[in-house]
Amino acid sequence: MDKLKRVLSGQDEGSTDGGGILEASTLAWGTRMKGFIICFVLGTLLSILGTCLLWIPGFGLTVFAVLYSVGNISALASTMFLMGPLRQVKKMCAKERALATVIMLVCLVLTLCAAFWWKNKGLALLFCILQFLAFTWYGLSYIPFARDAVMKLFSLCI
């Protein structure tokens, strides 16, 4: 647990941004962990609930699009408890994540537009799928060599 604290706070070797998360906020480490867990679990549950409600005739796709998008926002916001909002935004805009971040956020907005204003269920579903793929690609960027492994796997399949 101490190693996790050091890595997330930027106190581990290799960190270039100086002050860590524990210095950047008035929240205690336990409170940060609770906030992270609550937001992440809530986001996951909303996404799963949205997927389950997808098949309700009439309004299922709209409910799915909203719950799935809010779930993704909640899951993304959960990491702000660990590293702080400013550091999270900096990491999201880093060179290796910027494209995935932009695609994810644009697809999130387009999902909601397709569900509410355009009333186009096919587009809403397409944007949810793109949102999922971009969020996955974004998440893989935090795991060393994960993107390379996925690219290699797909190149072997094709």
50: closest CA among 67, 69, 62? 67
CA atoms within 13 A on the CB side of 89: 2
Average pLDDT, the chain: 85
pLDDT tens for each residue of 107-120: 999 999 998 899 88
- Percent of the chain past pLDDT 90, that is, above it, reads 53
Q: What is the pLDDT of residues 49-74, one digit of tens each?
A: 998 888 888 888 889 989 999 999 99
Query: How many structural domains does the chain have?
Result: 1
Residue type, 16: T
pLDDT at 3: 63
Domain extent for 92: 2-11+19-157
Global confidence as pTM = 0.76
Lowest-pLDDT choice from 70-74, 92-96, 100-104, 120-124? 120-124
Q: Which pLDDT band holds residue 15 (cuts at 50, 70, 90)?
A: very low
Helix, strand, or coil (residue 108):
helix
CA separation for the pair 155, 148 (Å, rounded): 10
